[in-house]
């Protein structure tokens, strides 16, 4: 395991440190330190009405943040933690307003990454938004964090993240479970485990998303993102093509062999690459929501980048 002591000391003295999770890199700060959390908002340039997810390393820590843990939450923790699922629960009164942006609920997850778990077990629970500047794609590599925050920014390097898209956020604070943000854990997987229907309450499914973060237009590279048109040739050298079924390989044509999990893992890296290398557009081959469990999350992130 990496030597984490230097980074643990930064958190303990009220600083912020970027660390890897299985989804994207997070910008960690002590979940009980208001001035550390303030720094997270400042560093990211994040609107203060957008709440943060608390990251824990041990299921028992949930009780520090919520005293109303429904059976549905227990079942989902057992099935999916550690993993890319954030649970929105009614919060305890002592949870800081800076964490929840004044809401009555708090989002909590246990990341499935050995470095994250070791780190949090030493620091205690951390708030951790994605470690990008607001409006930039979430970082899936340590180098992305440095692109946004500078070469000297403290980041624990854990190589490229496995999932590449942010966690599924599910609201369990009322009796009707609702997905507030789709992620790699799909509606079907959640319904199979819960045995009841799960609503979808996110951008493009409903007019008014219930998760504050969903109203902000994230993930937009400078390059124009668009779908590949029917029978469109892939010969524009100022475009980067992300293809699924077509088998071409050029430096600007990346072929994912119908593997949407692989495309999800690389999407944000490709957005960043397009901007660094000065491409005018990112052209993506279309796919269906039923193609893979991660298709819904991938469509959600791509559609946000289209506008």
Applying CB under 6 A, the site for ligand TXA has a residue count of: 29
Q: Minimum distance from CB of 288 to ligand TXA (Å)?
A: 24
Q: Return the one option of ligand TXA, Mg ion, none that residue 177 interacts with (CB less than 5 to 8 A, by type).
A: none
Cβ proximity of 283 and 242 under 8 Å: yes
Place of tokens 């227990």: 74
Restricted to residues 12-31, the positions that interact with ligand TXA (CB under 6 A) are: 21, 23-24, 26
Lookup: tokens for 48: 């203060």
User: How wide is the angle at C-alpha 59 spanned by C-alphas 56 and 62, nearest 5°?
Assistant: 70
Restricted to residues 151-190, the positions that interact with ligand TXA (CB under 6 A) are: 166-167, 169, 180-181
Specify the stretch interacting with ligand TXA by CB under 6 A; choose among 50-58, 238-246, 277-285, 291-299.
Answer: 50-58
Binds ligand TXA (CB under 6 A): choice among 12, 38, 50, 205: 50
Q: Return the one option of Mg ion, ligand TXA, none that residue 24 interacts with (CB less than 5 to 8 A, by type).
A: ligand TXA
Q: Minimum distance from CB of 52 to Mg ion (Å)?
A: 10
Cβ closest to ligand TXA, residue 170 vs residue 225: 170
Cβ closest to ligand TXA, residue 78 vs residue 102: 102
Q: Return the one option of Mg ion, ligand TXA, none that residue 125 interacts with (CB less than 5 to 8 A, by type).
A: none
Q: Minimum distance from CB of 55 to ligand TXA (Å)?
A: 6
| DSSP 8-class letter at 60 | G
CB half-sphere exposure, 259, CA atoms < 13 A = 10
Restricted to residues 196-255, the positions that interact with ligand TXA (CB under 6 A) are: 211-214
Restricted to residues 59-78, the positions that interact with ligand TXA (CB under 6 A) are: none
DSSP-derived secondary structure for 129-195: -BSS-TTSPPPSSHHHHHHHH-TTS-B----S-SS-SPPEEEE-SSSS-EEEE--SS-HHHHHHHHS
Alpha carbon of 239 to those of 43, 77, 226, 272: distances in Å?
Answer: 32, 42, 10, 13
Report the C-alpha gap between 160 and 117 in whole angstroms.
Answer: 17
What does residue 20 show for φ and ψ, rounded to 5 degrees? -80, 145
Adjacency order of strands within the sheet including 239-243: 224-227, 281-284, 239-243, 253-255
Q: Return the one option of Mg ion, ligand TXA, none that residue 88 interacts with (CB less than 5 to 8 A, by type).
A: ligand TXA
Q: Minimum distance from CB of 213 to ligand TXA (Å)?
A: 2
Q: Under DSSP, is residue 120 helix (H, G, I), strand (E, B) or coil?
A: helix
- The CB-nearest residue to ligand TXA is 213
Report the C-alpha gap between 124 and 55 in whole angstroms.
Answer: 9
Cβ closest to ligand TXA, residue 52 vs residue 225: 52
How many other CB atoms are found less than 10 A from the CB of residue 260? 20
Q: Minimum distance from CB of 71 to ligand TXA (Å)?
A: 20
Q: Contact residues for ligand TXA (CB under 6 A)?
A: 21, 23-24, 26, 50-53, 84, 86, 88, 100, 103, 105-107, 111, 128-130, 166-167, 169, 180-181, 211-214
């Amino acid at each position: 395991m990496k030597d984490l002591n230097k980074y643990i000391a930064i958190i303990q003295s009220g600083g912020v440190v970027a660390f890897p999770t299985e989804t994207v890199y997070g910008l960690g700060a002590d979940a009980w330190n208001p001035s550390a959390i303030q720094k997270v908002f400042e560093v990211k340039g994040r609107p203060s009405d957008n709440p943060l997810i608390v990251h824990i390393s041990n299921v028992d820590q949930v009780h520090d943040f919520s005293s109303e843990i429904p059976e549905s939450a227990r079942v989902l923790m057992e099935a999916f933690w550690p993993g890319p699922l954030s649970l929105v629960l009614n919060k305890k009164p002592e949870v800081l307003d800076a964490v929840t942006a004044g809401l009555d609920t708090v989002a909590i997850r246990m990341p499935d990454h050995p470095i994250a778990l070791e780190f949090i077990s030493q620091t205690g629970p951390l708030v951790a938004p994605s470690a990008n500047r607001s409006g930039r794609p979430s970082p899936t590599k340590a180098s992305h964090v440095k692109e946004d925050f500078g070469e000297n920014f403290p980041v624990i390097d854990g190589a490229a993240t496995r999932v590449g898209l942010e966690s599924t956020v599910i609201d369990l604070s009322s009796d009707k479970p609702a997905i507030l943000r789709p992620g790699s854990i799909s509606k079907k997987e959640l319904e199979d485990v819960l045995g009841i229907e799960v609503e979808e309450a996110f951008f493009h499914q409903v007019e008014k998303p219930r998760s504050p973060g969903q109203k902000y237009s994230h993930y937009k590279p400078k390059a124009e993102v668009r779908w590949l048109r029917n029978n469109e040739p892939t010969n524009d050298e100022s475009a980067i093509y992300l293809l699924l079924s077509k088998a071409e390989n050029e430096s600007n044509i990346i072929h994912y062999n119908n593997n949407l999990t692989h495309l999800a893992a690389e999407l944000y890296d490709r957005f960043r690459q397009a901007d660094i290398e000065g491409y005018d557009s990112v052209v993506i081959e279309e796919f269906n929501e039923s193609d893979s469990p991660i298709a819904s999350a991938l469509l959600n992130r791509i559609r946000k980048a289209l506008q």
